[in-house]
Amino acid sequence: QSEAGRATREPPIWKGRITFVMAAAGSAVGLGNIWKFPYIVGENGGGAFVLVYLACILLFGVPLLMAEIGLGRATRANAFSAFKQLSARSKASSQWKWVGGLGIVTSYLILSFYIVVAGWCLYYFVVTVSGDFTQSGQTLTQADTGARFDGVLASPVLLIVASTTFLLTVFLIVASGIKNGIEKSVNWMMPSLMVMLVLLAIYSAQNGMFMKAFDFLFSPDFSKLTLESVLIAVGHSFFTLSLASGSMVTYGAYMNDSASIGKTALAVAGIDTMVALTAGLAIFPLIFAHGLEPTSGPGLMFISLPLIFEQMPFGQIFGAAFFFLMFIAALTSGVSLMEPTVAWLEQQFSMKRLSAAFLTTVSLCAMSLLSAFSFNIWDAKWLFGMSFFDGLDFLTANVFMTIVALATALFCGYCLKPEQLQQMFGHQSRIIPVFTFSMRFVAPAFVGLMVYAAF
Ligand code: PFF
Ligand code: NA
């Protein structure tokens, strides 16, 4: 009891700007960049989709990132209470707290399928270390790597063991307090991942069809853009920056008062976008060179990358390191996906951190079975005409996140008082007019367009 009380009064504050940037970038950079971004670009026709995505990041993603970090820092509370406290202070309806509430639900649901994909990385790490890919004696073809991936999906036991291993690692970090848990490890692992991605992109440019990939990614053909793909691009811009899910609000609560929110948001969005684009440049030249379909879906990265690891010098070591770092990138994001629920349980019910993390982990373990089984023993397409895994991804990343993002923007744009904005941004009040403009007009326009697109 007293310990929980102390946790509420003294949140663990990350000292210094760099540490916070690292933690927030650790949350942002994850499976969304390297696994999800390339495959949804592939499924949605390339360039035009990328352009919509980049526009969302710049016009709305960055301002919303500032908003969420600010909401957290101004209240030093979990997402639910942050909205509750600020609506009380600005005399707005207390119902705004449900925006924070839906954000927490969203992060929880995302984590339940995120761990399954992180489990794939873990499995591929083990396979690569054991040399199974590289020492086959004959050249791998995409038929081999495709069959391997299908084999993974077909085995419920393998999926559960791998995802549970990942979940337990997240649990250990969250339970021991994220401040001690991730601060140290992200500092060198994140830069290493970036370096490896660049090397991969260079290798794949030399050995694959770089021009075709470049064209695919960057020359927009708007006739390929459907209404649904616009929705997916907008939703992904939230997903990739860890927005609309309580994560950045919760992390903002741990940011020190003197750091600049604007610069931090720009840095995080910049790093995240660079990683995603580099991942695209690493993967697509191979896709085209090997005659793979850009539309192969969630397996895209796992089917294409082993093809290079087998051929490149030191591919086994390189491949193993790559999947290991993917696992770490997923881990830092996984921690930020569990933290909103745990911080809420801790503060709302005065729970101990360990109990809160334990409860969250056990229930997630059960939830994740639904995603794991939807690849094999329960492959009914019942959620929006998709499997449970795909449907849950769509529901959270595109529907819930869009609602939370829009509501957050309207709350900041129309409910918060000027003094509150001033307090949120501290000494950088110059950015307030731009910020307010984005929250009031750009955000609703974007989302309005999307809702129109969806129906
Ligand atoms: N931004 C993460 C990624 O791109 O992999 C995913 C994510 C993390 C989404 C945390 C939401 C969140 F709250
Ligand atoms: Na991301």
229 lines ligand 1 (CB under 6 A): no
Residue 73 in tokens: 């820092």
278 lines ligand 1 (CB under 6 A): no
Position 408 scores a pLDDT of 97
Q: Which DSSP letter does residue 10 get?
A: S
Global confidence as pTM: 0.94
Question: What is the mean pLDDT for each group of 10 consecutive residues in the chain (455 residues)?
Answer: 44 76 93 96 96 94 96 96 96 96 98 97 94 73 91 96 97 85 69 88 91 96 88 93 97 90 94 96 92 91 90 88 91 95 96 96 97 92 91 94 94 94 81 92 80 66
Q: Which ligand is nearest to the CA of 244?
A: 1
Ligand 1 nearest-atom number relative to CA 33: 4
Q: Which ligand is nearest to the CA of 269?
A: 2
Pocket test for ligand 1, best of 40, 104, 174, 247 (most atoms within 8 A of CB): 247
| Structure-derived torsion over alpha carbons of residues 399, 401, 403, 406, reported in degrees to the nearest 10 | -140
User: What phi and psi values does residue 131 have, to the nearest 5 degrees?
Assistant: 80, 10
Cα 244 to ligand 1 centre (Å) = 10
Residue 98 exposed, middle or buried by CB count within 10 Å (0-12, 13-18, 19+)? middle
Cβ neighbours, 10 Å, residue 224: 13
As a whole number of angstroms, the longest Cα–Cα distance in the chain is 70
* CATH architecture for residues 2-454: Up-down Bundle (1.20)
Domain ranges across the chain:
2-454
336 lines ligand 1 (CB under 6 A): yes
Position 429 scores a pLDDT of 73
103 lines ligand 1 (CB under 6 A): no
- Residue pair 93/291 in contact by the 8 Å Cβ criterion: no
